[in-house]
């Protein structure tokens, strides 16, 4: 099933690449004069490096493009989508391939987010954005605090591996025995422990419904990364499995949306190609870091991302500013 999912994503991406390259080559002698290859490639490397860590790329890219005067405002939505499509798809391919996760859980959550984005667009787009951002900001802040409390041993945490090897189901959590790196007395120790890589029953139903809502909220400018990390934690899964879910959810939406921008010529060609090239390099480097990070350090990364996003959303709600989404035209 995973191969079929990657196959569908590959077809969508190939379609986008053909359209993108064709348009770029037809206009290669008439590229924008207000930007430079070095600057836009640098922007791509930085933003997609941190996107791979779960920070998100649209807001930082917007800030850098505007701050360095590398594109026109009217082309910004299309440029964001087109430039980050290939890096995000690459993120999805890498994490779906290298991170071990229950296939039924992954496919169900990818499908629900995709359907949520398409079906829920008309409904969610009518909701008051300021209130949605405020509510999501508060929810993420509470979740980040709960994760911090678990990490500091103030209370039991979620997503913890079992104290022994185990392959099976407990409390609707699907476990698989995997290598876990732990630091004991300053020394790195590798243990074979049961890791929660999926869910069943009522937890899976909750995950499907929640990711449907998160997919719909993407159309209102609410990013999916941090809420997805929070959802994975609250359901008791390992924080590592959040990466294939959140990257895959965005990857399935972006190629089709970006093709629309290319055909309407509503994007900056040089900026998009430069960010794509730099971003692809950034993704490869950052993905290796995520894969090799010890679970304990990865949890701190996730906590930081969720805290950062909650503060960003609360700030945006107080200023009533629209947050960039994936895809921006949804």
Structure tokens at 213: 């809502």
Say how far apart CA 318 and CA 135 lie, in whole Å.
Answer: 12
Q: Is residue 35 part of a domain?
A: yes
Q: Is residue 73 part of a domain?
A: yes
Q: Is residue 116 part of a domain?
A: yes
Q: Is residue 314 part of a domain?
A: yes
> What is the tally of structural domains in the chain?
1
Q: Is residue 324 part of a domain?
A: no
| Structural domain range at position 227 | 2-319
Band the pLDDT of 122: cuts 50, 70, 90.
low
* Average pLDDT of the chain, as a whole number: 85
Whether this prediction's pTM lies above 0.95 is answered by no
* Highest mean pLDDT (candidates 109-118, 191-200, 202-211): 202-211
Pairing assessment for the beta strands 168-170 and 187-199 based on DSSP bridges: unpaired
pLDDT in tens, 50-75: 899 888 888 888 888 888 888 888 88
Q: Is residue 330 part of a domain?
A: no
pLDDT at 178: 87
pLDDT at 224: 83
Q: Is residue 328 part of a domain?
A: no
């Amino acid at each position: 099933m995973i191969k079929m999912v990657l196959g569908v994503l590959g077809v969508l991406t190939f379609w986008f690449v053909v359209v993108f390259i064709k348009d770029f080559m037809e206009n290669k002698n008439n590229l924008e004069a207000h930007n430079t290859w070095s600057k836009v490639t640098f922007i791509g490397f930085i933003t997609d490096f941190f996107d791979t860590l779960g920070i998100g790329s649209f807001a930082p890219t917007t800030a850098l493009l505007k701050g360095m005067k590398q594109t026109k405002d009217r082309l910004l939505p299309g440029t964001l989508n087109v430039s980050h499509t290939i890096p995000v798809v690459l993120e999805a391919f890498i994490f779906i391939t290298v991170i071990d996760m229950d296939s039924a859980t992954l496919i169900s959550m990818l499908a629900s987010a995709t359907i949520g984005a398409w079906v829920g667009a008309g409904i969610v787009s009518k909701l008051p954005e300021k209130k949605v951002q405020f509510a999501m900001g508060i929810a993420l802040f509470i979740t980040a605090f709960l994760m911090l409390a678990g990490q500091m041993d103030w209370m039991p945490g979620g997503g913890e591996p079992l104290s022994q090897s185990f392959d099976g189901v407990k409390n609707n959590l699907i476990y698989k025995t995997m290598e876990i790196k732990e630091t004991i007395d300053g020394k790195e120790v590798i243990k074979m422990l049961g890791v929660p890589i999926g869910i069943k029953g009522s937890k899976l139903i909750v995950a499907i419904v929640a990711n449907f809502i998160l997919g719909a909220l993407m159309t209102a400018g609410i990013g999916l990364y941090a809420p997805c990390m929070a959802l994975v934690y609250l359901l008791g899964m390992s924080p590592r499995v959040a990466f294939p879910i959140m990257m895959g959810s965005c990857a399935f939406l972006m190629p089709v949306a970006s093709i629309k921008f290319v055909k309407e010529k509503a994007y900056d060609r040089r900026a998009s190609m430069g960010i794509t090239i730099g971003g692809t390099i950034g993704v490869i480097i950052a993905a290796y870091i995520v894969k090799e990070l010890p679970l304990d350090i990865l949890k701190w990364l996730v906590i930081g991302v969720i805290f950062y996003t909650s503060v960003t959303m609360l700030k945006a709600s107080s200023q009533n500013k629209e947050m960039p989404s994936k895809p921006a035209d949804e």
